[in-house]
Chains A and B, each alone.
Chain A
Amino acid sequence: MPTLQIAERFNSADNCEKDSGMDDRQKQTDLSEDILINGVSEIADSLAGGDAETPSVADLMANPGGVLAASATNAVVEEVSSSVADEPATEAAVNNEQADGAEADDPESPEDSKKKPKQKKQPGLGPRWSYILTRGIVVASVWAFFTFAFDPILRYSAITAGQQTVQAKVEIATLETSFFPPTISITNVAAANRNKPGTNILEFESMNGDIDGLALMHGSYVLDRAVVNGLTWNTPRDDDGLLPDSPPPEESEGPGFGDQLEKYGKEWANDIFDRAKLEYDPRNLESVRLAQQLEVEWKTDFDGLESRIKNIDDAGRQLKALVDQTKRMNPIQRVEAYRRIANDGSRLLREVSVIRDDLKVLPRKAEGDLGNLDEARKRDQAEIKRKVEELVLDGDKLSEFLLGPTVHHRIRKTLAWLDWGSKQASKFSDTPKPERQRGDDVFFPLDNPLPDYLARLIEVTGQGEIGGDQMAVKGTIVDVSSDPILYGKPTVVRMNGRGEADVQMKAELDRTQDIPANRLDVAYILDEATTSKLGDDDSLAVEVRAGSTRWNVHIETVGDELTGTVLMVQEPVLLIPEMKVDDETLGRLIAASMQKIKRIDATVELSGTIKRPKLKLKTNLGESISNGVKQGFGNEVSAQKDALIAKLNTQVNEKQNGLVDMFRGKYGDIFEQLNLRQSVIQDMLPKLADKGLDPAKLFGKF
């Protein structure tokens, strides 16, 4: 029975204690506990059938008492040895091992094993399982942590850190590490673009990196060399990629300089074609308008005088009728009539005199008006000269109009990437340390200080869109550091893209000084024929067929300040203009000048800030077209100018002569009418005097 066997173990244990010379009471206590805890366990272990030496279930069923007794006895031997081993450590350990060895190496029948406690005074040689088990559990826990928990925790941390950086979703399919040698391997990484929901700002298939073990021992995570495969960017994703607490997309600060450029270009083009129309419409000239105005004014003046003469005529007729009536009047009535006739006649004569005086003023006024007309004509002539000369195209404005939007589009994309890279570099290097920690860290100088995080070399391969072309990219990213000031080296990104075009890019993100600086150089070479359209379909568009295209971009930023140049060369080129211009001459000359252009050179000077860049564009395109138009115009401009002025003079002269003729005719006519009226009235008054009555004398007495 098990109970009896346990009792035997007590006896056996007592013997062992005596042998080892331990304190009886303490040993008794220890052994009691050992037996209670381990003895039964050992029996259970034996029954579990895990060891070859332990009896089978069939044995147990055949002779349960014997089997259990044997198992218990073995367990007692082991535990006693184990207990004894505590204090004379070396000796005990040897005993334990021997005991365990004996147990393990000596499969005996239950009857034989019964005798063992008495025979077993010699220590065993086998492993001490209780000790191994205890430490094994600890080792197994550590192993299990690094095998099953470490990588997932690291992956979760990387996703969290990535999401904090890009403020959008970051996915990492797998992350695996190894410690001997220290390496890291990541697969299928995608980072969403919070400013463009539904797209990934970048993604890559895998990254395998070697970690610097020595640096790791000094507390720095240094990626000696990493290889990134399958890098691509601006790829669509299934969801919007925004986090629940993602900030709203960054909005551009008002219209960009490219939009303004496009707007100004269109305004300029419309203006120049409007001006072309203006020159051929003399109705808009001041002198012509003034002549028309004078014609109306003068006519009004003369009509007014004629109207007043007509009034005198009416009054003269009434006076004549009254004179005629006096023949049939009695003398008293006749006296009254004569007095009235004398008054009215005098009044009419004064009115005639006033009209004459008014008429005499008109020549001076007309002279002044004609002088004003002449001045207006001179001004019109000067304006015609100026506008015709200005009609020759402004090369710079034409360049901006034609190439501005295209150049802007490329520069905007380049600046956007530079801005993004700069922000990420700043975020990485400015990562705040956790504020809450127990105690203060005291730092001591290091012989070879390193940043907390550093990637010395990342080799990148992938593919993506550059300048509108899909191309395979290959490059390196060097010295990405969380503390560039300490490390003393800027991050340098070199990329080569190969597709229809070849692209070489070098970006230097320098955070080694207090003020962040960035330098970007891009060379884009496309040795294939391309067709593109410049300008505006509503006014002037140019189809450009180029044999090769080259872009060279150099941009620098220091703090917020932006400087740089962008050079573009296209050659050989064929330019085909498409115009909606009424003026055939201008259109013909522009087309002719474009045919002479075989190469386009454009230079953009950049200034301002990344957010609000300013550009100054100079190209041979505008200048060439302008010069072509100018040369083509040449004599034509002069002839055009003379023709316009002649046309103006003719029109103004016609108007002027018309005015003069009208004035002369009306003036003479009115003058004659006044003389006639005056003589008629004066004639009527002497008739009265012939009849013995002098009205003046007569009425002077009253």
Chain B
Amino acid sequence: MFFLRPIRFFFKALVTDNTPSQMALGFALGVVIGLVPKGNMIAISLMVVLSAIRVNLGMGMLAAFAFSWVGVLLDPFTHRIGQTLLTTDSLVPFWTGFYNQPMAPWTKFNNTIVLGSFVLGMTLLVPIFLIAKPIFQKYTPNWSERLQKFKLVQLLHGTELSSRLN
């Protein structure tokens, strides 16, 4: 069952760093990524951060996927936030200066929804982490037990070994 090896590696990558803190932080980062429209450097940078720091990648990706749909529903609200920030006179010099920096245009920060959703996400990052952490502390063991009952997980963990032994 050699073909399971890469799948198992991937699965392992997703479920490592699975302390409640790591899972909560992964979830919070995933929420931010989900809210921000994709296809810009902000979203890519957030993905890099998610991948680079020791948080639960699986939880992060799951949250990003789920909140991508939520983000669309929040567009009117995030648009208003972004528009207010981008058109505030006192901030215009800052935005102009930033806009002239290399790579800045690729962030698409000058888009009302990108900036609005990013600001909203970053604002919610810590509260989401603080809320999510005790939840993960409480439920992670149960989820882990249940996870082990899935045949797919059992297969990934045991099949190669058993095939070798046989």
Contact = CB atoms under 8 A, between A and B. Distances in A.
A397 B75 CA distance: 73
Given A29-B140, A36-B157, A444-B110, A86 B54 contact: yes
B108 to A, nearest CB: 8
Interface residues of B, number: 56
Interface string A599-634: 000000000000000000000000000000000000
A48 B51 contact: no
Given A36-B144, A40-B161, A217-B103, A133 B114 contact: no
Interface string B120-156: 0000000000000000010011001000100000000
A441 B83 CA distance: 9
Given A29-B140, A40-B157, A41-B12, A438 B86 contact: no
Interface string A42-54: 0110011000000
Given A131-B54, A438-B37, A26 B137 contact: yes
B20 A37 contact: no
Nearest to B16: A130
A439 B51 contact: no
A40 B140 CA distance: 20
Interface stretch (A134-142, A275-283, A687-695): A134-142
Contact of B16 (A134, A217, A437): A134
A642 interface: no
A217 B104 CA distance: 8
A43 B161 contact: yes
B97 to A, nearest CB: 9
Contact of A47 (B13, B20, B104, B164): B164
A514 interface: no
B96 A444 contact: yes
A444 B96 CA distance: 5
Interface residues of A, number: 41
A30 interface: yes
B51 A37 contact: no
Given A38-B12, A47-B164, A439 B102 contact: no
Interface centre among B18, B48, B116, B161 (most CB of A within 10 A): B161
Nearest to A213: B102
Given A137-B13, A214-B102, A218-B105, A438 B113 contact: yes
Interface in A437-451: 437-447
Contact of A446 (B20, B75, B100): B100
Interface string B68-99: 00001001001100110011000010011001
A363 interface: no
Interface string A16-59: 00000000001001101110111011011001100000000000
A418 to B, nearest CB: 36
Contacts of B137: 26
B75 to A, nearest CB: 6
Nearest to B2: A48
A135 B51 contact: yes
A444 B9 contact: no
Contacts of B22: 86
B10 A44 contact: no
B103 A26 contact: no
Interface string B4-16: 0100111011011
B134 to A, nearest CB: 12
Given A33-B18, A40-B158, A137-B13, A442 B87 contact: yes
Interface in A49-81: 60, 64
Contacts of B86: 442
Interface centre among A60, A214, A217 (most CB of B within 10 A): A217
A48 B5 contact: yes
A43 B160 CA distance: 10
Contact of B95 (A33, A44, A133, A444): A444
B83 A440 contact: yes
A48 B165 CA distance: 11
B43 to A, nearest CB: 12
A182 interface: no
Contacts of A218: 100, 102, 104-105
Contacts of B19: 26, 30, 86
B161 A443 contact: no
A144 to B, nearest CB: 13
A408 to B, nearest CB: 50
Given A37-B12, A133-B9, A444-B99, A439 B82 contact: yes
Contacts of A133: 9, 12-13
B96 A445 contact: yes
Contacts of A137: 9-10, 13
B130 to A, nearest CB: 17
A138 B112 contact: no
B100 A440 contact: no
A134 B57 contact: yes
Contacts of B15: 37
B16 to A, nearest CB: 5
Nearest to B148: A36
Contacts of B140: 29, 33
Given A29-B140, A41-B8, A134 B13 contact: yes
Nearest to B52: A135
A30 B108 CA distance: 40
Interface centre among B8, B110, B137, B164 (most CB of A within 10 A): B164
A440 B112 contact: yes
Interface in A176-227: 214, 217-219
A34 B141 CA distance: 11
Contacts of B95: 442, 444
Interface in B15-64: 15-22, 37, 48, 51-52, 54, 57
Nearest to A438: B113
A157 to B, nearest CB: 14
Contact of A439 (B9, B106, B114, B164): B114
A256 to B, nearest CB: 48
Interface in A480-510: none
Contacts of B103: 217
B157 A30 contact: no
5 tightest A-B contacts by CB? Answer: A439-B113, A219-B105, A217-B102, A439-B112, A138-B51
Given A44-B164, A443-B110, 6 more contacts: A29-B140, A40-B161, A218-B100, A219-B106, A441-B108, A444-B100
28 contacts: A26-B137, A29-B141, A30-B19, A33-B140, A36-B144, A36-B157, A38-B16, A43-B161, A44-B8, A47-B164, A48-B160, A48-B164, A86-B17, A86-B54, A131-B54, A134-B16, A217-B102, A218-B104, A438-B113, A439-B78, A439-B113, A440-B111, A441-B111, A441-B112, A442-B86, A442-B110, A444-B99, A446-B99
